[in-house]
Amino acid sequence: MHFANEERRIIVTCDGAHFDLLAREWAATPRDHAGLVIVWSLRNSRFREIVTGVQFLADGRPRQRDWKNLVLTL
């Protein structure tokens, strides 16, 4: 998450168990992050559906600043 934040990259992950905890840890500190999408409802082999979902989320928040410290789920 450190590298993604430095690069201002939004993380999209199917590793909800790990990144859910990491997002909670970051929220408890004064650190910011560039955004996080946790894919809970789709298997990682369903790439097309994941991309469609992420595109839908991105269309609703086209500016990078709209993603700051935001955690969304699919």
44, 50 contact by CB (below 8 A): yes
**pTM (predicted TM-score):** 0.86
For residue range 3-28, what is the model confidence (pLDDT) as tens digits?
Answer: 888 899 999 999 888 988 988 998 89
Residue 11 falls within a domain, yes or no?
yes
Total tally of structural domains belonging to the chain:
1
Residue 73 falls within a domain, yes or no?
no
For residue range 53-71, what is the model confidence (pLDDT) as tens digits?
Answer: 999 999 999 999 999 999 9
Strand partners, 72: 37
User: What range defines the domain where residue 48 resides?
Assistant: 2-68
Residue 8 falls within a domain, yes or no?
yes
